[in-house]
Structure formats: structure tokens, C-alpha cells
Structure 1
Amino acid sequence: MDVTVLRPDELTAADLGAWGAMQRANLALANPFLASEFARAVGHRRATARVARLSEGGRTVGFFPFERHALGSGKPIGSGFCDCQGLIHRPGLDWDPAELLRACGLALWEYDHLTAGQTPFETAGTPRARASSPVMELNGGHHAYLERLRHKVVRTARSQERRLTRDVGPLRLDFHTPDPVLLDTLIRWKSDQQQSKGRRDILSRTWFLAILRELFDLPSESCSGTLSVLRAGEAPVAMLYGLRSREVYATWFPAYDTRFAKYSPGILLHLKLAEAAAERGVVHIDMGKGTSRYKDALKTADLSVTEGYVGRHTPAAMLCRLRMASDRTAHAAISANPRIHRAAVRAVGAVDRLR
């Protein structure tokens, strides 16, 4: 197998066409985080971004988007905010992870959202944990989705909708609103939410906002930043910025106006979104790894994603493993102490602002 490493912007029109065809051939690869548009947007802001093009007999058979860091340490492209990771490939392709890493100049590749169907990586690597990525299944249409939900969830949501309609105004969902002013409002809501919970706020970083805005309203069937807005009367009560392909809507940044919190506007938005997405041919709404009250209420299935790494037998790979072990130990110690954790979040935020 021949491997050519490129910067994302060096991909040709033929490369982009082949990449999209591979995604359309496999629902497990249809997630917009795996799209070439996402890789190119990250590449415009991260100098470490690369894409390996895999060829056999002069035919392109796969693409491996990654980032290359010090000591040959590799991560998925968009590491830290990419909710689906892996190698985009033709059906039935097998590959040698060690040879791929060698061709990419990597000693080790670490992942935390490896999608299903990446058997060579999992077989050759060291999976540390499996996690669930809750999804709303829309195959069969909106009514079939509602039938899969617990009846208590649907009854409660309808009661909240009636209350919100009575108190504020009738509900309306705009599936996509290409309004930068509303996008700024969502960013403010989400930043306030993250800061109030003592979490690191990626939306405060100028370089990340540039990626988010580049993808916003992108005219692509593989990856388009979509702003869904739920209104009560004329007031936006909840919004969601997600990435959408033809078959998958990957939620990214949901938030709501806290003045309407008692009506559970986030759940109402997702239920309205399910109806609108099903009408447009979306099969899955992927709510991302992790559990929460609203995800547990809305999901009808779980996709499995893997955290771990795959490496070569080299001294550099050993150094990378030692660094990872040290990082996990430090992270566990910080997370165990709320005061230290809050101080660490503030310190990281200060460094981000200085950058």
C-alpha cells in the first residue's frame, strides 16, 4: 500500500470526490466530523494537521486525517473537539496500523472517539475504554422514533410545550438559520454555561471560533455547520449548533436561554429537531459521547466509541506512552480535588486568552 502525507489544503478535487464517496458507502463513516471539510477547516488553524492518502494499484482506497506533534505523537485531526475519529476507507479495506504510522512519521496515535468498524486499529492497539454515544434513531421516520421513546418522556414534553405556548407563544423550529447574530447569542449562552460549571470554555478561543464560523452554513452534503433555533412566539428559547451530513446530524453546542429553564427547552428543541431532520432524510442524530439527563431521555440507541492508542515498537513510542501515563495521573489528581480543578481551569483559560 502506498501512503502519501499531505496538508489538508493539498487534497485534490479527485481526492475530495473519493473521500465523499467512501463516506456515502458506509453509515459508520457518514459522521460529518469525518468529512474532508472538517479536516480542511482544522488545517487552516492548526499547523499540525495532516491527511494520509492510501493507494493500492493506483487507486485511492482511504484517507487518514491526523495531527503530528512532538516525539512523533499523533492525535486525530481536531483533537479536543472532534466527536468521531478514524480512517475513511473503501468497504472491506484492511490496513497495517504500524506501517501506516511509520509512513505518517508517527510513533503512536492516540484516540478518544474511535468510531465503529476500525478493526485494525483496535486489534493492533491498546483500547483503554469503551463509551456510549447516544443517538436518536430516525430510520422509519419521526413517528417511529416517538414510538421507541418512553411514553413518560413524550407526555412530559407535550405538557411542557403546552405551558410554554400558553406563557410565551406558539413553538416553531427553524431547522437552519444562517444568522451570525443568533450564532453569537448561542456562543454567549454556551460560554456562560461552561464557565458557571467550572469547565474549560473552548468557545472563548479565537482560533476555534474561526473553525466554527468557516463550517457555518457551508454548502456541502458531507459537513455543514447548522444552527437550529427553537422559538416561542418570536423569542429564541433554545439553540443548537451541529454539523450535518446527508444522513447524520451531529449535535455539538446545545444551549438555551436560562429564563425558560423550567420548560425544559433543550428537550423540546431536540424533539422538534427529530421531526425536521427525519423529513430531510437524516437517519441518526448523534448526541455525542457521554451521559446526561437529556441524552438519556431522548436516545433510542447507543453507538460504541473507543478510547485508546496504537503504537509502534520504537523508543519514541515508549516516551509517548510514559507521557500519556503521566498526563492521566495528573488529570485524575486534579479532578479529585474541586478547588484544584477550578484553579486549573482558570489557569488554562488565562493561557488561552494570552495566546
Structure 2
Amino acid sequence: MKINVIRPGELGAGERARWRELQKADASLDNPFLSVEFAVAMDRLRDYVRVAVIEDGNRIVGFLPYERHSFGIGKPLGGFLTTCHGLIAVPDLKIDARALLRACKLTVFDFDHLVAGQPTFAPFESDVRPAPVMDFTLGFDTWLEQVKTNSPKNLKTVRYKERKLGREHGELRFEWSSPDPGVLRTLLNWKSDQYQRTGRVDRFAQPWIVELIDLMHAERSPDFSGVLTMLYSGDVPVAGHFGLSTATTLVGWFPAYDTEFAKYSPGIVHHMQMAEAAAASGLLMVDMGKGGKEYKDWLKSGVLYVAEGRVSRPSPAAAVHWMGRTPFNKARTIVMDRPSLYRAADRVLKGFGRVRRSMQQDTDAVAKDPTGAG
């Protein structure tokens, strides 16, 4: 086999077509984060993006998109932004993972959302996790029956809040795949507020991430699209989501809502309506991503599996990386495994967010009136 490393933007039309062909041939690869369009967009914005093109004879048998950071540290494409990564390859392709790293000039490759069971990386998987999905293969009504079975009480409560929101603030209207950049900005502002309110890092404070989302929002093709949805009560937007889709799968990415309507649980109301719209548009699945939120357990009607793990070649850089990452990974796994710990950690972060916001407001007030005279 021959492995050539280039930037995704350097892929020719034939290579991009082969990428799409390989992706469509394997159901486990039906995820927009594995699409060539996402790799090319990332390459436009980040200098460290690469793709290994794997050939057997004169035939391309696989692609591995990745990030190459200082000291040969390899990370999945999109890193913390994405919920799926791996080899886009012919089924059952197995190559020497360390030889692949050597060709990519990597000392280590750390993964946490890899398509589980890929033969090249399976020996290096340390943990495999379920990622809940809404499966519409048998139709929306069948999915809804599963949701009712999962938790009839939750479904009843959400439907009650949905009707109450419509009565008190105006008839509900759901918009699927909005092209309006103003609607996207409304959603991103809500999400930034959520990050700050809950003590998380505001991803949209990094301009390149906002630019990436703008690029993805502009994508419109049968194989890959950015999908912006918004729920309105009357003429007022109350909850939305931006995600990416292939021809058959929508992946959850950035959901958010207006906190003024929090008592109506607008996020869950939106998800229910998004599921119906996704099924009506011909999609077969909404991938909600692994871990974190309890609502996923009762909205799911199936699961996919993603793996955590690490491949390395002997080197001082790999050893230092292992010492720095292993305690964090273990702690995260312990927290994600125990709902009570996850809720406690969430409360701590929200408390930190409130303190940080209060301090920022005090700082802003002093900046506006340094004398304190009002």
C-alpha cells in the first residue's frame, strides 16, 4: 500500500468522488463529519488539517482526515467540535496503524468519537460508547411510539407545554432548513449565552468557528448540507438548531433556545418538531451524539457506537502527551458514566458561569462609570 499526505483542498475531482463513493458504500460512515465537504471547509480555515490518501495498487482504498499539531500530536478532524471521526475506507480495511501514523508524521493519534470497530483502530480502542439516535427507517409514527414507550410521562408533559406555548404566545410554526443568516445569528447568540451561563467555554468567541458555521450553512447539495431549523411562537423565534446532514442522516450540533421561554421547555418542543420535519424531508436518522443529556434517553429509538482510544509510536512527545491526557480522559469517563456525578458537575459549572457573569457585569459597570457617581 502507498500513503500520500496532502491537504483536503488539494484533492482532485476524482479523489473527492471516490471519497463520496466509499462513504456511501458503508452505512457506518453515513455521518456529515466524515464527508469530504467538511474536510475541505476545515482546511480553508486551519493550517494543520491534512488527509492521508491510502492506495492499494492503482486504486484508492481509504482516506484519513486529521489534524497535525506541534510535536507530531495527531487529533481527529474538527476535534472538540465534532461527534464522529475515522477512516473513510473500503469495508474491513486493515492496515498497520503505527505505519499509518509514521506516514502522517504523527507520534500519537488520540480519538474519542471514532466509528467503533474499524479494523485498523479496533486494537487500540479503550472504551466504546453508545450514541443515541432517532431512527425513522420505519416512519415517524413508529419512532413516536417508541418515544411513548420510553417515557409516556415525558411525552405527555412536552405536548402539554407545546400547546401552552402556542396558546400564550402565538401559534407555533416550525421552519426547516432556513437560509436566513439573521436566523443563524439569533441561534448563535443564544448558544453563546448558554455557554457563558453554564460555565462552559464560548466556542463562538473564536472567529474561525463562526466562519466555519457560516461556510457549512451555505452548503446545499444532495450529499451534504447545513440545516438550520427554528421554532416560532407567533412571529417570535423561541428555539432552534444548526446541524449537518448527508442524504439520509442529520447530526445534532448546536441546539439553543431563548431563556425567556424556558418554562415551556422550548428546546425539547423544538426537537420533537425537528424529528417530524426531518422524517418528512426524507431523512432516516437524527444522530444526537454520545453522552450528556437525559432527554436523549427518551427520544432515542436506536444507538450507534463510537470509540475512545489512542495509537502512538515510541517518542518523548507521545509519553508527555499520555501523561497529560490520561487523567483527564479517565475523569471524564467516570463522570459521564454516573448521572449523579454529571448533574453535580453541571451544577458546579452553572454556578461558575453565574459568578463569572456577575463579575463581568461589575467590570462593565465600572468601565462605564469609573467614578461610581452614577
Scaled by the length of structure 1, the TM-score of the pair is 0.89
Tell me which residue corresponds to 2:364.
none
Q: Which moved more, 1:295-304 or 1:96-105?
A: 295-304
The structure number with the bigger radius of gyration is 2
Q: Is the 8 A contact 1:33 1:223 kept in 2?
A: no
How many residues in Structure 1 have an aligned counterpart in Structure 2? 341
> Where do 1:121-140 residues align within 5 Å?
121-123=121-123, 125=124, 127-140=125-138
Distance 1:336 1:173 in 2: 30
In 1: Cα distance, 2:119 partner to 2:101 partner: 16
Aligned to 1:36: 36
Contact 2:198–2:346 (8 Å) recurs in 1? no
Letter in 2 for 1:136: M
What amino acid is the match of 1:6? I
Cα separation, 1, equivalents of 2:236 and 2:295: 22
Structure 2 counterpart of 1:176: 177
Question: What is the aligned-residue identity percentage?
Answer: 42
1: CA distance, partners of 2:166 / 2:82: 36
Shift of 1:79: 0.9
Question: Is the 1:74–1:108 Cα contact (8 Å) retained in structure 2?
Answer: yes
Structure 2 unmatched ranges of 5 or more: 335-344, 361-374
AA in 1 matched with 2:293: S
Distance in 2 of aligned mates of 1:190 and 1:215: 17
1:292 partnered with 2:293: yes
What SS is found at the alignment partner of 1:86? Answer: coil
Shift of 1:72: 1.4
Amino acid at match of 1:280: S
Structure 1, unmatched stretches of 5+, are 351-355
CA change 1:121–1:290 in 2 (3 A) is same
- Structure 1's 337 and 70: CA in aligned 2 closer, same or farther, altered over 3 A? farther
Residue type at the aligned position of 1:146: L
State the partner residue of 1:87: 87
Per-residue CA deviation, residues 37-89 of structure 1 (Å, 9 max, x unaligned), is: 11111111111100011111111111000111122110111111111010101
Compared with structure 1, are the counterparts of its residues 268 and 137 closer, same or farther at alpha carbon in structure 2 (3 Å cutoff)? same
> Which stretches of structure 1, 4 residues or more, deviate above 4 A after TM superposition?
326-332, 335-339
Matched, 1:145 2:143: yes
| Conserved 8 A contact 1:267-1:298 | no
Which piece of structure 1 moves more, 155-164 or 244-253?
Answer: 155-164
**Structure 2-normalised TM-score?**
0.85
Matched with 1:273 is 274
Q: String of CA shifts for 1:122-158, please: whole Å, max 9, x gaps.
A: 21x2x34333322111111110100111333332222
Letter of the structure 2 residue corresponding to residue 82 of structure 1: T
* Maintained 8 Å contact 1:215/1:223: no
Q: Secondary structure at the match of 2:268?
A: helix
Question: How far apart are the structure 2 equivalents of 1:337 and 1:278?
Answer: 35
Counterpart CA distance in 2 for 1:154 and 1:338 is: 29
Residue deviations 1:327-348 (CA, integer Å, cap 9, x gap):
669999xx89959x959x97xx
